[in-house]
């Protein structure tokens, strides 16, 4: 007779650690990938939604070439399986292929959509841990980024996907973080000689300064991972969230889930990014996003601000998942305490 735990492990076909809540696991030390250099190969993956327009891939490849990088297409990049970019096994295999290939230095998601959560039980985390590489994306790619960090310690990057607007602002932070390995300060007023429209002011929720590992991404994607074992331990961390096309009552529901799961109470700091097209259908009967910050975040008493330039917007930071940072809520700034690449 085998134990219940052994039976669960056998039935799931997963490493046992994936079944444990985050608080029962010891967070691994940050594992830094190598920095990008001109001439490096970048593997194009599509772990979520399908690509519909044939010209999109050429645009993505042109963007990488402008950065002096060499694009390499995943074998299943153009596959389609309903709304997904191919079967789960094939999308996972493209990820494995590029982690096995020593000549490929980074993986860039072509787009978001939906589907990364389905891949998490299929990934070979030992392979990924033994071949640390840059993984870049946002939106649905959030679950891939946080799961890779939680399970391997790999520092991953919440930033543009292939079909994003790679304007001067976005490229600046890709260059500083991924190529130059600078311990940069992320700030909405943007210190570089790069001026882009659409820069927004931040709003202080609770003043103060905090330090901790940075993690986060899309609010709905992360809330769907609560209790799965694929989130990092939130204790003394700094969480950033963003969203798109969700009404305030849905944001309220997600933040309530974070609260009931005990995650918010463990944080050292909090950042709300951009919520694009999140207006209420009936504003006269709705709470505002500012109301939600006061209801859910202000009572925590931790340094927190909103309006950070991360999310479904043109001007994007490239934020390292799992790296220690300092948050200055009064100034709306986040500063890396070390380079994110080696």
Catalytic site residue from 18, 61, 139, 190: 139
Collapsing DSSP to helix, strand or coil, 6 comes out as helix
Bridge partners of residue 319, in order along the sequence = 158
Collapsing DSSP to helix, strand or coil, 328 comes out as strand
Our CA dihedral for 125, 38, 171, 49, rounded to 10 degrees, sits at -40
Bridge partners of residue 283, in order along the sequence = none
Euclidean distance between CA atoms 150 and 232, whole angstroms: 5
Euclidean distance between CA atoms 45 and 94, whole angstroms: 6
Q: Which helix (H) or strand (E) holds 2?
A: none
Cβ atoms of residues 203 and 305 within 8 Å:
yes
Q: State how beta strands 269-276 and 333-336 pair.
A: unpaired
Catalytic site residue from 143, 158, 312, 328: 312
How would you write 174-186 as a 3-class SS string?
A: HHHHHHCCCCCEE
Cβ atoms of residues 69 and 105 within 8 Å:
no
The residue among 313, 333, 335, 336 whose CA lies nearest residue 139 is 313
Q: Is 149 one of the catalytic residues?
A: no
Cβ atoms of residues 165 and 311 within 8 Å:
no
Other CB atoms within 10 A of residue 274 CB: 20
Catalytic site residue from 18, 158, 164, 242: 242
Instruction: Tell me how far apart the terminal alpha carbons of the chain are, to the nearest angstrom.
Output: 48
Q: Is 76 one of the catalytic residues?
A: no
CA atoms within 13 A on the CB side of 250: 16
Residue 122 burial (C-beta neighbours within 10 Å; 0-12, 13-18, 19+): middle
Q: Is 306 one of the catalytic residues?
A: no
Other CB atoms within 10 A of residue 37 CB: 10
**Which residues are known to be catalytic?**
139, 242, 312
């Amino acid at each position: 007779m085998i134990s219940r735990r052994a039976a669960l492990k056998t039935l799931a076909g997963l490493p046992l650690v994936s079944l444990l809540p985050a608080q029962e696991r010891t967070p691994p030390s940050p594992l830094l990938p190598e920095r990008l250099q001109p001439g490096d190969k970048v593997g194009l993956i599509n772990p979520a939604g399908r690509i519909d327009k044939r010209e999109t891939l050429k645009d993505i490849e042109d963007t990488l070439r402008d950065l002096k990088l060499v694009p390499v297409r995943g074998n299943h990049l153009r596959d389609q399986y309903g709304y997904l970019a191919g079967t789960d096994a094939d999308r996972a295999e493209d990820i494995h292929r590029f982690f096995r290939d020593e000549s490929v230095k980074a993986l860039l998601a072509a787009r978001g959509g939906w589907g990364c959560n389905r891949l998490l039980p299929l990934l070979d985390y030992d392979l990924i841990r033994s071949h640390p590489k840059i993984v870049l994306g946002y939106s649905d790619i959030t679950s891939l980024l946080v799961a890779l960090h939680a399970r391997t310690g790999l520092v991953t990057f919440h930033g543009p996907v292939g079909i994003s607007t790679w304007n001067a602002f976005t490229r600046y932070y890709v260059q500083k973080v991924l190529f130059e390995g600078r311990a940069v300060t992320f700030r909405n007023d943007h210190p570089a000689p790069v001026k882009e429209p659409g820069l927004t002011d931040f709003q202080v929720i609770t003043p103060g300064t905090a330090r901790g590992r940075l993690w986060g991404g899309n609010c709905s994607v992360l809330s769907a991972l609560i209790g799965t074992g694929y989130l990092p331990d939130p204790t003394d961390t700094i969480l950033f969230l963003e969203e798109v096309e969700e009404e305030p009552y849905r944001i309220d529901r997600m933040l309530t889930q974070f609260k009931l799961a005990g995650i918010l109470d463990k944080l050292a700091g909090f950042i709300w990014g951009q919520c694009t097209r999140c207006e209420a259908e009936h504003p006269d009967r709705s709470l505002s996003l500012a109301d939600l910050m006061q209801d859910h975040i202000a009572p925590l008493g931790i340094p927190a601000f909103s309006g950070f330039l991360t999310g479904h917007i043109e001007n994007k930071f490239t934020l390292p998942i799992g790296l220690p940072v300092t948050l200055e809520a009064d100034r709306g700034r986040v500063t890396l305490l070390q380079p994110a690449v080696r």
